[in-house]
Structure 1
Amino acid sequence: MAPQERREDLIRSALRVFARRPPGEVTPEEIAAEADVSRALVYRYFPNMGELRRATLQHAMGELLAELEPPEHLPTLEQLRVALRTFISFAHSYAPSYPALMSGGSVIATEETEAEIDRVREGVRDLLLDRSGVEKPSPQLSLAIRCWVASVETAVMLWLSDPVMERDALADWLLDQLVAMVAAAGGPQEELEHLIARVE
C-alpha cells in the first residue's frame, strides 16, 4: 500500500477494534493483528497509542459530522429526528469506546481528543441553528442548546449501559426535551415565535 493508504487502513482497523473494546485497553498488537501487519509497522505510522487514538477519533468525528447532515427537504423536526437517530446509532456502534471518548477525565483524554469532540458539539449547535433559521441566537437560546447537547451525551451514555427503551424511542424523547428546553429558555418572544413557526 501507499503510505497514506496504509495509514488509513490502520485507522480503520483501530476503529473496528475500538468498536469491540474500550480504547484505553487496546494494545498495538491488537491493532496489528486486526490490520494483518507487524507491530513495528503500526509504530512506523503511529509512534504511540495516543497518536493512533487521536487520529482514529478525528476520523470518526469527521464521519459523524458528515452523517449528521439530514436531508433538507424534510420538515425541521424530522431533520432533527434523523440527526438524533444517526448520533445514537454511531454511539451504539462504538458502545465500548463511547464513554471513554466523551469523558474529559478518561485515561485517553487529551487536549486534541477533547478538541475533536468539541468540534462535533459545535457542529450540532450550528446544525440546530441553521435548521431553525435563527441567525443570531439570544444568549438564552445558545445556553439551552448547549445544555441539551450535554444532556444528549449523558442520556446516550446511560442508555448504552441500560437500554430502557428502543433506539428510535430514545431519539423521540430527546427531541421532546429539545423542544421543551427551547420553549422554556426565556429568550425574546419573537425568537420563540419564529422557532414555533418553523416546527409546526
Structure 2
Amino acid sequence: MAPHQRRDDLIRTALLVFARRPPAEVTPEEIAEEADVSRALVYRYFPNMAELRRAALERAMTELLEELRPPEGAPPLEQVRTALRSFIDFAAAYAPSYTALLNGGSTVATEETEAEIDRVRRGVRELILDRAGIDAPSPRLLLGLRCWVSMVETAVMLWLRTHDMTRDELADWLLDQLVAVVAASGGPREELDRLVAHVSRVVT
C-alpha cells in the first residue's frame, strides 16, 4: 500500500473506532488491531494520538460539509430540512466523538478541533445565506444564525441521550426554531423577509 493510501486507511480506521468509543479512550494499539497493522506502523504516520484525532476530525468535517450541501434544485424548505437530517445522522453515527468534541472540558477539545468545528459552523451559515441570496448579512442576522447553530449542536447532543423524538421530528423542530430566530433577530426588514421566505416556503 502506498504511503498516502496507508495514511488514508489509518484515518478511516480511526473514524470507525471513534464511532464506537470516545476518542480520548482510544489507543494506538486499538487502531493498529482494527487496521490489521503493527503499532509501530501507526506511529510512523501519526507520532501521537492527538495528530491522528486531528486528521480524522478534519476528514470527518470535510465530508460533513459536503453532505450538508443539498441539491440546489430542491425546494428551499427541503434543502434546509435535508441538511439538518444529514447533520443529525452524522452526530448519531459518531455519537461518542460528537459529545466529546462539544464538551469544553474534554481532553480532545483543543484549539485545533475547535477550529475544525468552527469551519462547519461557518459553512452552515454561509450555505443558508447563499441559498437565500443574502450577500451582506447584517450583524443582527449573523448573531441570530450563530445562536441557532449553537442551538442545533446542543439539541442534537441532548437528543442523542434521550431519543425522545424521531430524527425527522427533531429536524422539523430545529427548522421551526430557525424561522423563529431569524424573524426575531431584528435585522433589516427586507433581509428578514427574504430569509424567512426561503426557509419557511411550503413544499408543493
Which TM class, normalised by the smaller chain length?
over 0.9
Q: In the TM superposition, what is the alpha-carbon distance from 1:188 to its structure 2 partner?
A: 1.1
Aligned counterparts of 2:138 and 2:43: Cα–Cα separation in 1: 48
Percent identity reads 72
Tell me how many residue pairs correspond in the alignment.
Answer: 200
Aligned counterparts of 2:177 and 2:49: Cα–Cα separation in 1: 38
Match of 1:171 in 2: 171
Contact 1:23 1:97 in 2 (8 A): yes
Aligned counterparts of 1:52 and 1:115: Cα–Cα separation in 2: 16
Aligned counterparts of 2:52 and 2:80: Cα–Cα separation in 1: 32
Q: TM-score, normalised by structure 2?
A: 0.95
Please, which runs of 5 or more residues in structure 2 have no aligned partner? none
For residue 179 of structure 2, give the secondary structure of its aligned residue in structure 1. helix
Q: In the TM superposition, what is the alpha-carbon distance from 1:101 to its structure 2 partner?
A: 1.7
Query: What is the RMSD of the two structures over their aligned residues, measured on CA atoms?
Result: 1.0
Aligned counterparts of 1:196 and 1:145: Cα–Cα separation in 2: 12
1:87-131 Cα distance to aligned partner (Å, 9 max, x none): 000000001111112233311122111111110110001011011
Q: In the TM superposition, what is the alpha-carbon distance from 1:74 to its structure 2 partner?
A: 1.1
Match of 2:6 in 1: 6
Q: In the TM superposition, what is the alpha-carbon distance from 1:77 to its structure 2 partner?
A: 1.4
Match of 1:22 in 2: 22
Match of 1:188 in 2: 188
CA separation of 1:37 and 1:145: change in aligned 2, threshold 3 A: same
1:46-70 Cα distance to aligned partner (Å, 9 max, x none): 0000000000000100100111100
Aligned counterparts of 2:2 and 2:197: Cα–Cα separation in 1: 53
Aligned counterparts of 1:187 and 1:14: Cα–Cα separation in 2: 43
**Correspondences of 1:1-200 after superposition (within 5 Å):** 1-198=1-198, 199-200=200-201
Q: TM-score, normalised by structure 1?
A: 0.97
Contact 1:18 1:26 in 2 (8 A): yes
Please, which runs of 5 or more residues in structure 1 have no aligned partner? none
Q: In the TM superposition, what is the alpha-carbon distance from 1:194 to its structure 2 partner?
A: 2.1
Contact 1:24 1:108 in 2 (8 A): yes
